[in-house]
Structure 1
Amino acid sequence: MIEGKIRVLARVPAFWINTAMLIYYTGNFFYNMLYNMSLNYSVEFALVTIKFSSIFHAAFYVLISVGFWKARSIEKKQTR
């Protein structure tokens, strides 16, 4: 077994990308599963769920951007 040498997990780009995937797919799973039921229940409730879905999309792209930003900063440190 290989020993991990990660001291600060928040500095690893894969952490941010994996967190983005987890949040995005968790949020969209419930959104897609309950969307038709929410349309039958209330149009206002459906609009609220669409807003939450948009928030999950925004969080996904922000966290992916942080992951790429961290990867770039690590690459710059290694080339010095």
Structure 2
Amino acid sequence: MRLAISRFPKDDEFLDSSVDVTSVGVDVLADLVGIAPADLVGDVPLTEEHAERVRQLTGITLDLEKYAYFLDPGAD
């Protein structure tokens, strides 16, 4: 399974960027959002609750005032 963090401007519905974070690990990212790895389907919103851990794991700083972020699981 490929995992990405996708970013959308809050005032737009089009994808602004997507960063592959598969190397962090499916189990780690599923645990971050509180979903079993087998149930990780569809975009999962990332919130302020997730922001610091996302930064620690990926180096990505979430600007939640300007953007909506999602953990985006996809097939290999």
User: Smaller-chain TM-score range?
Assistant: under 0.3
When you count helix as a share of all residues, which structure comes out higher? 1
Max radius of gyration: which structure?
Answer: 1
